[in-house]
């Protein structure tokens, strides 16, 4: 499947997805409520077979928080970038994909710990790096550390 066919296939699965021009990856913004269903189809439909989640990141975009998924089909040799934006910056949440790609479990915990994005239905969502009583999320742009003051 070439890039054009893959783009049409994704848009067929999620018609309200937004396609973003990107030189390296086919990039889509996916509505949060549709991500888990799409993830399942991307992995298990044989013409897609996105079996490798090679990067999962959280990003603070100031007006919203975003989760970015980089996927690869090792069988079909194509790659894809998906972005999901949280509806609520203060209490951002998206559904987990760790039941689809097992490697997402620790990446989602890291994002939760450092950015505060919750992953619904995650089997073990707790802090990964910081102590349980830590206040705030240090990768948010509005985070203030009164002890180790670093300002740009």
Beta-carbon neighbour count of residue 142 at 10 Å? 9
Cα(121)–Cα(99) distance, integer angstroms: 9
Q: What is the pLDDT of residue 149?
A: 65
Q: Which residues are registered as beta bridge partners of 18?
A: 29
For 39, the token pair is 């993830």
Kindly state the average pLDDT of the residues 35-47. Answer: 97
Residue pLDDT, tens place only, 82-111: 999 998 888 899 999 999 999 999 999 999
Of 13, 89, 15, 34, the closest CA to residue 58 belongs to 89
Domains of the chain by residue range: 3-120
CA 112 vs. chain centroid, Å, equals 11
* 117, 111 contact by CB (below 8 A): yes
Tens-digit pLDDT profile for residues 49-72: 999 999 999 999 999 999 999 999
Q: Residue 114 pLDDT > 90, yes or no? A: yes
Angle at 126 between CA 121 and CA 132, to 5 degrees: 155
Q: Is the dihedral of CA 44, 99, 92, 57 positive or negative?
A: negative
Tell me the β-bridge partners of 57: 68
- 82 vs 68: CA distance, rounded Å: 6
pLDDT value at position 10?
97
Mean pLDDT of 14-18: 97
Distances (CA, A) of 39 to 33, 103, 133, 137, 144: 11, 13, 33, 27, 35
What is the average pLDDT score of the chain?
A: 94
| This prediction's pTM | 0.93
Closest CA to 96 of 116, 70, 67, 62: 67
User: Taking 80 as the threshold, does the pLDDT of residue 151 lie above it?
Assistant: no
What's the CATH number for 3-120? 3.30.460.80
Asked if pLDDT for residue 144 goes beyond 70, the answer is: yes
């Amino acid at each position: 499947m070439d890039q054009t066919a893959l783009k049409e296939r994704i848009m067929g699965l999620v018609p309200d997805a937004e396609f973003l021009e990107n030189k390296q990856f086919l990039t889509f913004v996916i509505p949060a409520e549709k991500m888990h269903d799409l993830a399942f189809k991307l992995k298990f439909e044989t013409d897609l077979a996105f079996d490798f989640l090679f990067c999962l990141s959280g990003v603070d975009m100031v007006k919203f928080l975003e989760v970015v998924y980089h996927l690869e089909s090792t069988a079909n040799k194509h790659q894809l970038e998906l972005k999901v934006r949280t509806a609520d910056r203060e209490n951002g949440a998206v559904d987990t994909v760790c039941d689809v790609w097992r490697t997402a479990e620790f990446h989602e915990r890291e994002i939760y710990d450092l950015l505060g994005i919750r992953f619904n239905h995650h089997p073990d969502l707790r802090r990964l790096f910081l102590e349980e009583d830590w206040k705030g999320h240090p990768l948010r742009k509005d985070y203030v550390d009164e002890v180790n003051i670093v300002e740009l």
